[in-house]
Amino acid sequence: MYSQVIAGTYFTSKDDQTVQVGENMLICIDEQGKIVRIIAHSEPEFQQVRQAAAEQHHLLELAGNERLLPGFVDVHIHAPQWAQAGLALDRSLNDWLNTYTFPLESRFADDQFALKVYASLVQTLLANGTTTALMFGTIYNSSNLILAQQAAKFGLRALIGKVAMDDPTQTPEYYRDESATAALQATQEFIEAMFNLQQQTQTTLLPVITPRFIPSCTNELLHGLGELAKRYDLPIQSHCSESDWEDQYVQDRFGKRDADVLDQFGLLTEQAVMAHGTQLTDEDLSLFRQRQTAVAHCPISNVYFGNAVFPTRKALQAGNQVGLGSDISGGFSPSLYRNMQQAVMSSQMLTDGVNSELATGQRGVPDSRISMKTAFYLATKGGAQALNLPVGAIEVGKQADFQVVKLAPALTTESTDDELERLLYQTESKDISWVMVGGKRVYQNQKGHK
């Protein structure tokens, strides 16, 4: 009747304020890996469906201390930078890029090095409950395709971009596209290669138009990438107003805001995801809403390089689309649990302010705090909506992208709200029992606690 039936209790976001709890439910999955029915214990068919699934060996029953969550959607990862995660976070953004990041990314001309790093990254993401990832590659198509192959091999739902960067004034000679023409040709070749690989592997690989950020790109390249995005109807990823330095650079060069420049070149669309946005103005956020462009909120990375806290609550209340990104390696952790926690902490610091020499009423931005339920939304449904994908929620019609998480023993009586909050604050990779993408189990934890 169904290819798989999962029996247990789940948590899923309904919206950015509300989490739905399904206690003792059956989640029914078809052969295409889609959720086709959710049956409550009180429904007459519950026992019949459960028994039939058990007899056909299609029943996956969660233990009493296990909970089912949607797989996480990470909307901003620099895949090659996994090799330097946790390094040089005391540097300024410009220094960090030129001293550490560009030299590292240039090493991905070596396919063997790329294979080693990307195999590790993909498996680590899955082990941390991430099932969908929007990723920057490098300027090298060969290693970008290795990243795609590793995603297909291990079952990660991956959207990958060939990084385009050609401006000789802001990129090193040893690591940049030779020209705008060369970058556009290589991008088009990567798009076609990804479509071919998608057909060969029958997976969900998708190419993404990827200008690194405005300082790295000439006007000719930005224009051409906007045209390619329109021609192929593809997602776009880049950075926007991510730091004082980058924000000011764009204004000095163009005499207008970062968001306006991206829009000028056709790079703000309903399929675009722009990272960080710590310097976005109300007018910028309004333009994002008009274009239905999403923000990738990267709370750990923003602490180091953002020069401000992204106003998550304000953006959501205004109607902006926001997802959560780890920003490896500006963010040191591949875990969206860790990034959810930081998102809440940063929002509290924005509310309270950080300069104790100012009076309390002048120190912070009132009502900026988000709850852990909101952070959970960003990591799941918010990211899925940013990418226009049917994932990130345990709902009929969505893909069966799940993680099963073990709760630590409760020391007091808990409500389901308490249980969820403790789970989101305390879960580590060792507590994730298994992970499923599109109805296929892609990760099994051999080391978790009993």
What is the per-residue pLDDT across 33-48, written as a single tens digit (0 to 9) for each?
A: 999 999 999 999 999 9
Mean pLDDT of 309-333: 97
Q: Which of 266-275, 284-293, 356-365 has the lowest mean pLDDT?
A: 356-365
What confidence category does residue 364 fall into, taking pLDDT thresholds of 50, 70 and 90? very high
The CA–CA distances, whole Å, from 153 to 85, 109, 204, 242, 446 equal 23, 21, 12, 33, 19
Listed in sequence order, the residues at least 6 apart from 273 whose beta carbon sits closer than 8 Å to its beta carbon are 75, 76, 134, 235, 236, 237, 293, 294, 295, 296, 323, 386, 387
Average pLDDT over residues 61-82: 98
Q: Which fold, 4-70+393-444?
A: Urease, subunit C; domain 1 (2.30.40)
What is the rounded average pLDDT of the residues 117-137? 98
Residue type (1 letter), 444: Q
Burial 390-420 (b: 16+ CB within 10 A, else e): ebbbbbeebbbbbbbbbbeeeeeeeeeeebb
Mean pLDDT for 7-29 is 97
3-state SS, residue 407: coil
Domain spans of the chain, in order of start: 4-70+393-444, 72-387
- Which 3 state secondary structure label does DSSP give 424? helix
H helix or E strand, kind and range, residue 206: strand 206-211
Chain CA centroid to CA 388, Å: 13
Does the pLDDT at position 289 exceed 60? yes
Is the CB of residue 285 less than 8 Å from the CB of residue 349? no
Distances (CA, A) of 356 to 203, 308, 359, 365: 52, 17, 7, 14
- For residue 71, pLDDT beyond 90: yes
Task: Please identify which residue in the block is written with the tokens 């490098």.
Answer: 138
> What is the rounded CA–CA span in Å between residue 136 and residue 144?
9
Architecture field, domain 72-387: Alpha-Beta Barrel (3.20)
450 has pLDDT over 50: no
Work out the average pLDDT over 12-21.
97
pLDDT score for 449: 44
Q: What is the mean pLDDT of the chain?
A: 96
The candidate with the shortest Cα–Cα distance to 134, out of 298, 305, 17, 373, is 298
Q: Quote the pLDDT of residue 200.
A: 92
